[in-house]
Amino acid sequence: MTTQALTYQKQHNGVAIITINDAPLNRMTLAFINDLETLIEQIAEDDEVRAFVITAQGTDNFSVGMNLKELQTGVSAAGGIDAFFDQRVKLISRIETMGKPSVVTLFGYCLGGGLELPLGCTFRLAAQEGAQIGLPEMDLGTTPAWGGSARLAKCIGRNHALDMILRGKKISGPHALHIGLVNEVWPMEELKERAIALAEELAAQPRLAVKAMLEALHDAEDKTLDELLLAERAGVHLTMGTPDATEGIMAFLEKRKPVFNQ
């Protein structure tokens, strides 16, 4: 699948790859958001896709965020500022809670929506060199609007989030790793390959068990221990006795690598 805004490739190994198709800036245009919204629902309903990667065309920038020239047109078409931004907030929440792991690559400029979208992904991988990651809305006289301030604070803590947002900071990949914003950093020439490899690793894990853990640990920092224990037990009930659980136990007893999702 290819549109003017994005490309979509479904691989044979349970992995799908979404690529923003607007190099070198890779802006999150109105068309991109609409196409991504449709595509995410397709991925959610496709049992053959067990993990997916979000990346961008080229090696210059992941995304500079929204195309500001389209703002007024988008707000008018949506019927107001709240409806316009709600579409983006709901889209990112859908990625976050759909029960399938996502991996995103951060390189070059990752600004505004170019960070807010990755904040809804399961794993964030950044380039070792050249990344400039931030929420610079203060420079425009406004604030993040796609859930970025909330997710950033939950990810790296209030102090780091305020330091980035109020000062309009753009941080590097290694610094993002240091404060817990990303999971891994890689040289740019390896970044996309490593993201796909991680998605392949996740896709090979038992599908229902992955879904159970994503649901159990969603917003884990805001749940009590008792709530987390209940969510974990729900995962046990969901997975025990399934073909994957049987395969996992047999593989352990037979001292071999399990083959899940058959």
Catalytic residue among 41, 48, 96, 137: 137
CA Rg, the chain, in Å? 19
3-state DSSP of the chain: CECCCEEEEECCCCEEEEEECCCCCCCECHHHHHHHHHHHHHHHHCCCCCEEEEEECCCCCCECCECHHHHHHHHHHHCCHHHHHHHHHHHHHHHHHCCCCEEEEECCEEECHHHHHHHCCCEEEEECCCCEEECCHHHHCCCCCCCHHHHHHHHHCHHHHHHHHHCCCCECHHHHHHCCCCCEEECHHHHHHHHHHHHHHHHCCCHHHHHHHHHHCCCHHHCCHHHHHHHHHHHHHHHCCCHHHHHHHHHHHCCCCCCCCC
- C-alpha dihedral (90, 95, 99, 104), degrees to nearest 10: -160
116 is catalytic: yes
Q: Which of 41, 45, 96, 116 is catalytic?
A: 116
41 is catalytic: no
Catalytic residues: 116, 137
